[in-house]
Each structure stands twice: as C-alpha cells, then as structure tokens.
Amino acid sequence: NFTVVCSPSVPWLTIDSSTGALSESQDPPTGGVADVEDTWKDQAGGVCVVSAMEMVGSGDAGIAEPRHAKVVVLKPNPWQSLSYGVESLSVSVGDQVPVLQVVNPEPETPGSLKPTSFSMACTSSYDRFVFDD
C-alpha cells in the first residue's frame, strides 16, 4: 500500500496505491522550488517521500517493514515562445553581432521556465543562402 507526502503540498501529484506509480493530475500547479541554482527556481514542485510496507521473510515468520524513497517532483511551466524584442537584425561581414536580450513572453507569470536550448531558421530573398553553423 503506497502513499506519498510532499512539502510543500503538491495536490497535482497522485500515486497508484497498489503500484506506487506517480502521475500528474489536472489540478493547477502549486508549491515552489526556492533554490536550485536558478534553473528550477519558482517552478511548481516539492520534495516528496513515497512510503510502503514490505513483507520480509516468508510464511508466519514474515514481518512488515517500512520502506521510504525521497524524490523531487517538478511541474515545469516552459515558455511557449522565444523573442528578442526586435523584428529584424542586419549585420555586414566582419561586423560583430550586437548582444540581444531575450524577452520573457509571460512576464506576469511567476516561475515560467526559460529554454536552455533552441533552434533557429533564417529566410532570405536571395536565390541561394548558405548558413555556416
């Protein structure tokens, strides 16, 4: 019989009491990670302890012993888009590209998770365009 207890409370996390499988419900995310080197800061989540009783031994000699596992659960809220706040950028060969600041698409939403990697595409009105990565 598996149970789970989290701090802070994580009501969107459910556990299958017969298998111990953890899953996400549709409840709004709550809880908050305070300090994980800023990558997961303010993400919904918590530290949880999954518990169950295990039968040790067999037959009449078997006894039930408690087992516990500590896990960190997170429900990231990733950015849905990425923008640099400019419509276009022009540079000439030999020019240094200016530093552009990424704009948070949801500044009013605390805990939104910025991307750690992304891909990009370039368009050109020329017949032939070569992008050297």
Amino acid in position 118: F
User: pLDDT: is 81 or 28 the higher one?
Assistant: 81
Q: Is the pLDDT confidence value at 2 over 90? A: yes
Q: What is the pLDDT of residues 95-130, one digit of tens each?
A: 887 777 788 777 766 667 777 776 666 666 665 555
DSSP 36: S
CA dist 112 and 95 (Å) reads 34
pLDDT digits (tens, 9 = 90+) for 53-70: 988 887 777 888 999 999
The whole-angstrom distance between residue 72's C-alpha and the CA centroid of its chain comes to 11
Q: What is the pLDDT of residue 133?
A: 44
Number of Cβ within a 10 Å radius of residue 106: 12
d(CA 77, CA 123): 30
Tokens 């000439």 belong to 92
User: CA-CA distances (angstroms) from residue 82 to 17, 103, 123?
Assistant: 40, 7, 17
State the pTM of this model: 0.57
